[in-house]
Amino acid sequence: MYDFAYQKPASVADAVKLLGDDPDAKALAGGQTFIPVLKQRLAKPSTIVDLGKLDLRGITVGADTVTIGAMTTHAAVASSEELKAKIPGLQELASWIGDEAVRHRGTMGGSLANNDPAACYPSAALAMDATIKTDRREIKADDFFQGMFTTALEPNEIITSITFKVPQKSAYEKFRNPASRYAIVGVFVAQHANGVRLAITGAGQGGVFRHTAFEQALSSNFSPDAIAGIATPPDDLNGDIHASAEYRAHLINVVARRAVAKAR
């Protein structure tokens, strides 16, 4: 790892200023992706701005929305009984990220800001029409994810919280890479009063995406059979040593049907 200066600001405003003052500074949330990236010398920040002291933790369950602080760990999301009763799909998703030790450090805000094409949370944000609140504005999930490892965030912009619309039913299902536990294909389905939203992670060349053909079919008939005959073109899907684009296209249908079947 290259060395760097280290700062641990006590307020969001100070963190934004530190990031803004130095174009080569980078924010550190839980570090479960970023520290491995640093170890591989894939990034060479001048300064690490550790967000660990910021008061951005907690889960607030309302009637129609759930708001989660950006620095809330995956373990906290996975162990919230209140959340499990409200959005079971989101609680289960968190319980499957990495392993317990990783979940004790990794954060929701860090995952969304990184927008790894195989990360789980982006699919939940899209499927539950989430609003991503930052130090300066609110961004709809539909506008936030802009391609692999790319988001609408400015270089010195910090996510403070994420607000999900509570669906009537939800589920997350993933087909994991057996070594990394990342999704080869992950599907989050959410049935809302005004229709179904379904997002796919792990499979798209451009990162997470909504599957509009599935959404339309499921909005009129919320059952696995409704999408059984809908094929996904492999053209824009990832192909790598783990799975070809054609295999991922096949898995999308299988995993989506499993998600719909278990939605509650």
The pair of three-digit structure tokens given for residue 149, joined into one six-digit string: 């490892």
Q: Minimal CA–CA distance to 27: which of 133, 72, 14?
A: 14
Distances (CA, A) of 115 to 120, 121, 128, 153, 206: 9, 9, 16, 11, 10
Alpha helices (H) in 151-262, listed in sequence order:
212-220, 245-262
Contacts to another protein from residues 97-116, by CB under 8 A: 98-102, 104-105
Contacts to another protein from residues 176-205, by CB under 8 A: 179, 181
8 near another protein, rule: CB under 8 A: yes
Closer CB to another protein, 50 or 154, in the complex: 50
Interface region with another protein, contact rule CB under 8 A, candidates 34-42, 114-122, 184-192, 246-254: 34-42
20 near another protein, rule: CB under 8 A: no
75 near another protein, rule: CB under 8 A: yes
Specify whether the CB–CB gap between 60 and 66 falls below 8 A: yes
* Pairing between β-strand 47-50 and β-strand 5-7 as defined by DSSP bridges: parallel
Closer CB to another protein, 176 or 262, in the complex: 176
Residues that bind another protein (CB under 8 A): 1-6, 8, 28, 31-32, 35-36, 38-39, 48, 50, 52, 75, 98-102, 104-105, 179, 181
